[in-house]
Amino acid sequence: MIVIEFLLTLFIASIAAGALGSIVGIGGGLIVIPILTLFLGVDIHYAIGASIVSIIATSSGAAATYVKDRITNLRIGMFLETATTTGAIIGAAIAAYLSATVLEAIFGTILIISLVPLVRKIGEEYPPRQELKGLAEKLNLRGDYEERDGRKIEYNATNPGKGLAGMLVAGLISGLLGIGSGTFKVLSMDLAMKLPIKVSTTTSNFMIGVTAAASAGIYFARGDVNPLITAPVALGILIGASIGTRLLVRAKNTAVRKIFALVLAGSAIEMILRALGF
Amino acid sequence: MEHDAMNLKDPNSMNKILGIVLRAGVVLSGVVIAIGTALFVANHSLDDTSSYLAYNPSSIPHGSFPVSLSSITSGLLSLDPFSIIALGFLVLLATPVARVALSLFLFAAERDRKFVYLTAAVLAILLFSILATPLIPLFNG
């Protein structure tokens, strides 16, 4: 393949990945990795390096657009990020001793199982109001945001311990498999902490950038971040993320939830296919 | 009343600063990467990609593009497109770090001591893993 064709293909795919990723709070690796390995014949290590680039670009690109609407809950994100970054470092350190195949199979299975509770609340516009108590009260883990029609949505987080445990696992998976594990982060905030879905996806968006930045140094120094791949991915994702963010603030919560469920099913299938050696 | 001076002790202006820094980081990184790409395309648009995408598992770094700060710096001086793209990536990488660092000031402005400590912990872990782990053999499998 010639350079210009390669760059354009990857650029267009990345715009789509950035738009989808910024809506559902994932890094876009779901689209970028298979395009690179299956379609463009790129080595999996470069594909994972590109996924790191895509995660940081989605996170920062969305954040730069979100500033005005401020749905992201920085407090909840920062609280959970302590567990995610710790998990990511541990994961990166022990990755050499564990089989990626087994991990992918386990992670894929977890994602499939979590489809059940997610589908059960598929029509939920907002979660029922939770009581602010315990650790969540001590750390004031609550917030509000304004929908486009002017309604102010207030919420309290519940089960911060479970959320923290979920994030430790998400961090471990990130460190071990070199993926953003945004799906798992959104699941933890949605199912355990009972946050409104837009708060979960935008807060996950904040978190995946920080987690990916933590491991980016290692990938960059190793030479897994190839500039010919980085350039179209970063540019495409930044554009896609700003489009996706504008769509998200207008979208209905039930729509975001449905798109997330589809993405979750897609990630689960991708993980299991990877484990099977495709 | 509306002086709009950037006061580091006022949560509202801290939020504004955070937004401006994020946006500036994203735009700067996008522009730098676009310049590098344009320079590369100008001379190599019809090259075959295979030589640029060769992955060598037995050598560190695995590719034949610059990854060390010294090689990127000297590449920048000779306007090497791959060094310019690497610089753009490093700016992009700095934005989430800046976001966490500035949040520290935001929580300080809100006089939220617990979150100042929490954010400091996240920042410490983040800096450790970016700066130190690439040097530790355990992480370089």
Kindly report the nearest CA distance between residue A118 and chain B, in angstroms.
29
Please, what is the average pLDDT of chain B? 87
Q: Which of A1, A82, A210 sits opposite B121 (nearest CB)?
A: A82
Closest to A241 measured CA to CA, from A47, A70, A17, A50: A17
Q: In chain B, how many H helices and how many E strands?
A: 4, 0
Q: Mutate which of B28, B93, B114 to disrupt the A interface (most A C-beta within 10 Å)? A: B93
**Residue A82 corresponds to which amino acid?**
T
Domain edges within chain B: 11-47+54-136
Could you tell me the residue ranges of all domains in chain A? 3-275
- pLDDT digits over A36-67, tens only? 988 999 998 899 899 999 999 999 999 888 76
Give the mean pLDDT of chain A. 90
At residue B140 the predicted structure's pLDDT band, cuts being 50, 70 and 90, is low
Percent of chain B topping pLDDT 70? 89
Nearest-by-CA chain B residue for A91: B139
pLDDT digits (tens, 9 = 90+) for A89-139: 888 788 777 777 888 888 888 888 888 888 888 888 899 889 999 999 999
Confidence grade of residue B3 (pLDDT, cut at 50, 70, 90): very low
Residue A231 has pLDDT above 70, yes or no: yes
Whether residue B4 has pLDDT greater than 60: no
Q: How far is the C-alpha of A257 from the C-alpha of A96, rounded, in Å?
A: 36
Q: A177 falls in which pLDDT band (50, 70, 90)?
A: confident
How far is residue A16's CA from residue A32's CA, in Å, rounded to a whole number? 9
CB atoms within 10 A of CB A250: 10
Name the band, by pLDDT with cuts 50, 70 and 90, for residue A228.
Answer: very high
pLDDT score recorded for residue B139: 65
Q: B137 CB near a chain A CB, below 8 Å?
A: no
Scan for tokens 């009581």, then name that residue.
A131
**What one-character-per-residue DSSP string does B38-70 give?**
HHHHHHHTTSBGGGTT---TTSSSSSSS--SHH
Contact partners, residue A116, CB within 8 Å, separation at least 6: none
The reported pLDDT for the residue numbered A200 is: 95
- Could you report the per-residue pLDDT of B35-54, keeping only the tens digit for each? 999 999 999 999 999 999 99
**By the CB < 8 Å criterion, does B31 face chain A?**
no
Which residues in chain A are contacts of B99 at CB distance < 8 A?
60, 63, 206, 209-210
Residue B60 above 90 pLDDT? no
Portion of chain A with pLDDT greater than 70, in percent: 99
- Residue that the structure tokens 């000031």 belong to: B105
Please report the pLDDT score of residue A176 as a whole number. Answer: 80
Residues B107-124 as b or e (16 or more Cβ within 10 Å = b): bbbbebeebbebbeebbe
| A191: DSSP letter | I
Name A194's Cβ contacts closer than 8 Å, sequence gap at least 6. Answer: A127, A128, A130, A157, A158, A159
Q: How far is A39 from chain B (nearest CA, A)?
A: 14
> Do A223 and B89 lie within an 8 Å CB cutoff?
no
Q: Out of A84-88, A180-184, A249-253, B95-99, pick the least confident.
A: A180-184
Could you tell me which of A210, A76, A81, A192 has the C-alpha nearest to residue A139?
A76
Q: What is the rounded distance in angstroms from the CA atom of residue B106 to the CA atom of residue A68? A: 16
Q: What is the pLDDT of residue B18?
A: 83
B100 has a chain A CB within 8 A of its CB: yes
Does residue B34 have a pLDDT over 90?
A: yes
Q: What's the whole-number mean pLDDT along residues B27-34?
A: 97
Buried b (16+ CB within 10 A) or exposed e, A49-68: bbbbbbbbbbbbbbbbbbbe
> What residues of B are in contact with residue A96 (Cβ under 8 Å)?
138, 141
| Closest-CA residue of chain B to A59 | B96
| pLDDT given for residue B1 in this prediction | 41
